[in-house]
Structure 1
Amino acid sequence: MLFVSLCLLALSILYLFYKLIDQRVSQSCYILHYELFKPPDDRKISTLFSGKMIKASKSLGIEEYRFLLRAIVNSGIGEETYAPRNFFLDSGTDSRLNDSLLEMDEFFTETLDRLFSKSKVSPQDIDILVVNVSVMSLVPSLTSRIINHYKMREDIKCFNISGMGCSASLISINLVQNMFKTHRNKFAVVLTSESIAPNWYNGNDKSMILTNCLFRCGGASILLTNKRALRNQAMFKLKYLVRTHLGSSDEAYTCCRQQEDDKGHLGFFLGKSLPKTATRALSENLKTIAPKILPLTAVFCFILQKSIQKLAAKFLNITVKRKVVLNFKLGVDHFCLHPGGKAVIDGVKQSLGLTEGDMEPSRMTLHRFGNTSASSLWYVLGYMEAKKRLKKGDRVLMIGFGSGFKCNSCMWEVSRDLDDKNVWGDCIDNFPPKSLTNPYLEKYGWINEDEWIPPPELARALDLES
């Protein structure tokens, strides 16, 4: 009896151990494939075209014209980013519902057609569908529109995410990750984009017209699974994901929001406290994810150095100017950072103590595609892959920011050597260029002068006296 009891106990322990391992494996989250959206070449918007659009606006005076041109020329955005189709038509920025629908249809059909074709996964195999577009809400929803187009299954679980800003794609990934914990052997598709067509700001508030200079058309479709049998085919495995939300702070909540100006023009407001808020959100997020992705020795040395500095300042009156920075390169091989703008990239570089080489993928994405909101991170990832920098076992830290205010980050582990050029195929050999200087800087050089007289043709174009 004792022998039988010991055998049963051993079998029970082995079974529990097996269930624990099986549960952990089944809760894994893999990326099988992803596709990026590249609009046709006739949708490229240059600085010259942007200048014409600004001049065509009846609400802008010469000061606003100067402010916008300065923002465009100094933004780090190149001459080959993309705008919605209606911007090139007679209607211009006065969009209709059909313009928004065309923009979304064009994005999801192109990326999903390629995604299903290359992955050999049928639309009817999809169990979970997540779409995030922050400033557009339709009835029926975008997920319903996609389900109808591809005739997906009736039991598909679908989610529409709005209002989350540029950090929405990692929120979508987190939703799928949580779904995978209770639904085994599933396929999920995440679509991330932004609706630019109806969201051009036609007023003259400088804190709101800045978004017209930064945001461009783009999008990404990502196929994920937790099927153990497909892990060897996967591109990436999700290791950790951390979300930080500062919405309880009034300053953080109001620094980046959609609102109307005093004349009733709807737009997106960017407050002066935005850089400080983003820095705080990043700091709080890194405090949580750093112990998960870095060696304990690196975290311990950082805490020790900070403690010594504080004690020296308090008891010995010794102030050390050199800032102690946690070395994330000890646990990260590649940094996939949101290209929200030149200032955002520079701020993250300084906060993490990174090199210009670490920032190259983000800068090049901003230059080539602009800020495509929540999908921007995937263009950065695509740049790394096109450059053949992602090797099996490499660790990629992805960081995004969004209104609310939020900072979300995650760690991906590369499952196999990657070399697909995706939307970078026709230009990757030309990156990085020798210079990111805007070619129209000389033509528009007067915008940076403290005292200037507008050219007569500009004054006439804006109906101002020269």
Structure 2
Amino acid sequence: MEFLTLFSLVTVLYLCFLIWKLFDQRRDQECYILDYQLYKGSDERKLGTDYCGRIIERNKSLGLNEYKFLLKAIVNSGIGEETYAPRNFLEGRESSPTLKDGVEEMEEFFQDTIAKLLARSGVSSSEIDVLVVNVSMFSDVPSLTSRIMNHYKMREDVKAFNLSGMGCSASLISLDIVKNIFKSHKNKYALLVTSESLSPNWYNGNERSMILANCLFRTGGCVVLLTNKRALKHKAMLKLKCLVRTHHGARDDAFNCCRQIEDEQGRLGVYLGRNLPKAATRAFVDNLRVLSPKILPARELLRFLFVSLIKKITQISSPKSAGTGKSRDGPRSGLNFKSGVDHFCLHTGGKAVIDGIGLSLDLCEYDLEPARMTLHRFGNTSASSLWYVLGYMEAKKRLKKGDRVLMISFGAGFKCNSCLWEVVKDLEGRNVWDDRIDGYPPESLANPFMKKFGWINNVEDATNFKLFDFLN
């Protein structure tokens, strides 16, 4: 009897040890953001209304209909006059870029942001264990990761990853790589570098489906310092709760809706197909289907199931009066995401993208404000746009301890990626928004392009319109 009692005690203690070890191991797998640094170009690189006009006029292959299309696209873009362009655009060389233009654009971003981030955080470049760089449309040899390692003299055992072709959702793909490395390696620092190279990617043709990209994208980037060091938890800004990736690359329509191709004249550009909104919606819905149970409270999921059941019963009993399940304005998720999320960090792909996500998730203007203001101030900076939205929230002092922040991004392929962060402490840091934050949101978000070009409503207007009269 005593032996059995002793054996039982040892067994219980051993099981407790295993449970404690498993719990302790999971604590070392957490992913924290210690700091991040946003990139802001110099003032001479600001792309105002006048200079947009000059760049458009330089494209001699455009006809009157293409001018009208471009001007209306800019008018409706939601982009303001303080976004940034690459230097070769401002020098009039956008149609004949060199390899040097792409390299210098990236090095200017790397050397500015990484240096500032490391200096502010007190972490030296020799302490970095993981380096992930995502720049979709520029691939150099040696790789961009190698350029960073060479410039900052990082260790030879750094785990380096260089991602290309992953589109605007690449930030969260990079984050997923870091998260998975943290699961099997303790006490590591990771540097996530996200940007896009515009210098070599201006489309100089007249295909409408390809010139639209010229209107939307602007220069930007962000560097994020992450760790899984338990001892640094008190210094962290955000803690990663979950991350969901959805990739519809196996679907031909989704794969083909956003591609880098050459037009009939051999001019390279990014093709945006008419079926892109449909592909994005489908990827978004599939992503939410996986994400919702991970981030929403049980009571909200039960309420949604109950309401869905009632609707189905009603449709069965009254088939003639049953609708399509969509509102006239577009599809809605039916779930109340505000029950599990405090702030929404949305990809600034364009005004229509922000409006569409807001409609689907039933968000108010307060929720959409950070994305709208980011689009207005910095434009679509591709994969780094999420971090400018986060920076706006921080500059507005919205992020308080315990708040939950949902990031949603879309990218070519077609992909929809999302993740949920928990704010570890009240955030009131300084970033690139500081010099403008008091003026946002403005009382009237007037579009400068609307004032100068908004009256163009038909081909006759475009015919009679001399593009550069307003400059004289």
Q: Normalising to structure 2: TM-score of the pair?
A: 0.95
Q: Say which SS state the counterpart of residue 203 (structure 2) adopts.
A: coil
Indicate conservation of the 8 Å contact 1:47/1:72, yes or no: no
Report the Cα distance in structure 1 between the residues aligned to 2:333 and 2:354, rounded to whole angstroms: 20
Q: Quick one: structure 1 residues 201 and 337, their matched pair in 2 at CA, closer, same or farther if it must change by over 3 Å?
A: same
What residue is the counterpart of 1:319 in the other structure? 322
Report the Cα distance in structure 1 between the residues aligned to 2:84 and 2:465, rounded to whole angstroms: 31
Report the Cα distance in structure 1 between the residues aligned to 2:272 and 2:33, rounded to whole angstroms: 33
What residue is the counterpart of 1:374 in the other structure? 383
2:22 paired with 1:20: yes
Report the Cα distance in structure 2 between the residues aligned to 1:299 and 1:427, rounded to whole angstroms: 40
Indicate conservation of the 8 Å contact 2:75/2:454, yes or no: no
2:445 paired with 1:442: no
Q: In the TM superposition, what are the counterparts of 1:166-245 in structure 2 within 5 Å?
A: 166-245=168-247
Report the Cα distance in structure 1 between the residues aligned to 2:369 and 2:127, rounded to whole angstroms: 37
State the AA in 1 paired with 2:302.
Answer: F
What residue is the counterpart of 1:345 in the other structure? 354
State the AA in 1 paired with 2:384.
Answer: S
Q: Say which SS state the counterpart of residue 68 (structure 1) adopts.
A: helix
Report the Cα distance in structure 1 between the residues aligned to 2:381 and 2:250, rounded to whole angstroms: 27
What residue is the counterpart of 1:87 in the other structure? 89
Indicate conservation of the 8 Å contact 1:180/1:186, yes or no: yes
Q: Say which SS state the counterpart of residue 186 (structure 2) adopts.
A: coil
State the AA in 2 paired with 1:42.
Answer: E
Q: In the TM superposition, what are the counterparts of 1:123-202 in structure 2 within 5 Å?
A: 123-202=125-204
Report deviation, 1:456. Answer: 6.2
Q: Say which SS state the counterpart of residue 305 (structure 2) adopts.
A: helix
Report the Cα distance in structure 2 between the residues aligned to 1:457 and 1:324, rounded to whole angstroms: 46
Indicate conservation of the 8 Å contact 1:216/1:370, yes or no: yes
Report the Cα distance in structure 1 between the residues aligned to 2:430 and 2:460, rounded to whole angstroms: 47
What residue is the counterpart of 1:464 in the other structure? none
| Match among 396, 399, 402 for residue 408 of structure 2 | 399
Could you report, residue by residue, the CA deviation over 1:225-256 in whole angstroms, capped at 9, with x for unpaired residues? 00000011000000010001111111111001
State the AA in 2 paired with 1:417.
Answer: D
Report the Cα distance in structure 1 between the residues aligned to 2:445 and 2:15, rounded to whole angstroms: 62
Report deviation, 1:452. Answer: 2.4
Report deviation, 1:9. Answer: 1.2
State the AA in 2 paired with 1:166.
Answer: C
Report the Cα distance in structure 1 between the residues aligned to 2:95 and 2:387, rounded to whole angstroms: 27
What residue is the counterpart of 1:280 in the other structure? 282
Q: Say which SS state the counterpart of residue 441 (structure 1) adopts.
A: helix
2:464 paired with 1:455: yes
**Identity rate, percent:** 60
Report deviation, 1:290. Answer: 0.5
Report deviation, 1:459. Answer: 9.7
What residue is the counterpart of 2:299 in the other structure? 297
What residue is the counterpart of 2:418 in the other structure? 409
Q: How many residues align?
A: 461
Indicate conservation of the 8 Å contact 1:141/1:160, yes or no: yes
Indicate conservation of the 8 Å contact 2:74/2:449, yes or no: no
Report deviation, 1:441. Answer: 2.0
Report the Cα distance in structure 2 between the residues aligned to 1:359 and 1:183, rounded to whole angstroms: 37
| Match among 57, 64, 71 for residue 62 of structure 1 | 64
Report deviation, 1:369. Answer: 0.1
Report deviation, 1:47. Answer: 2.0
Cα RMSD (Å) of the superposition?
A: 1.6
Report deviation, 1:268. Answer: 0.2
| Match among 261, 280, 300 for residue 263 of structure 2 | 261
State the AA in 1 paired with 2:381.
Answer: T
Segments of structure 1 that go 5 or more residues without pairing to the other structure are: 462-466
What residue is the counterpart of 2:363 in the other structure? 354
Segments of structure 2 that go 5 or more residues without pairing to the other structure are: none
Report the Cα distance in structure 2 between the residues aligned to 1:206 and 1:404, rounded to whole angstroms: 21
Report the Cα distance in structure 1 between the residues aligned to 2:173 and 2:211, rounded to whole angstroms: 27
Report the Cα distance in structure 1 between the residues aligned to 2:41 and 2:188, rounded to whole angstroms: 31
Report deviation, 1:450. Answer: 6.1
What residue is the counterpart of 2:342 in the other structure? 333
Report deviation, 1:3. Answer: 3.9
Indicate conservation of the 8 Å contact 1:93/1:197, yes or no: no
Report the Cα distance in structure 2 between the residues aligned to 1:324 and 1:151, rounded to whole angstroms: 48
Report deviation, 1:460. Answer: 11
Q: Say which SS state the counterpart of residue 434 (structure 1) adopts.
A: coil
Q: Say which SS state the counterpart of residue 146 (structure 1) adopts.
A: helix
Report deviation, 1:319. Answer: 2.1
Report the Cα distance in structure 1 between the residues aligned to 2:468 and 2:90, rounded to whole angstroms: 24
Report the Cα distance in structure 2 between the residues aligned to 1:398 and 1:409, rounded to whole angstroms: 5
| Match among 368, 386, 389 for residue 398 of structure 2 | 389
Q: Normalising to structure 1: TM-score of the pair?
A: 0.96
Q: Say which SS state the counterpart of residue 451 (structure 2) adopts.
A: coil
State the AA in 1 paired with 2:52.
Answer: S
Report deviation, 1:453. Answer: 5.4
Report the Cα distance in structure 2 between the residues aligned to 1:214 and 1:144, rounded to whole angstroms: 30
Report the Cα distance in structure 2 between the residues aligned to 1:453 and 1:265, rounded to whole angstroms: 25
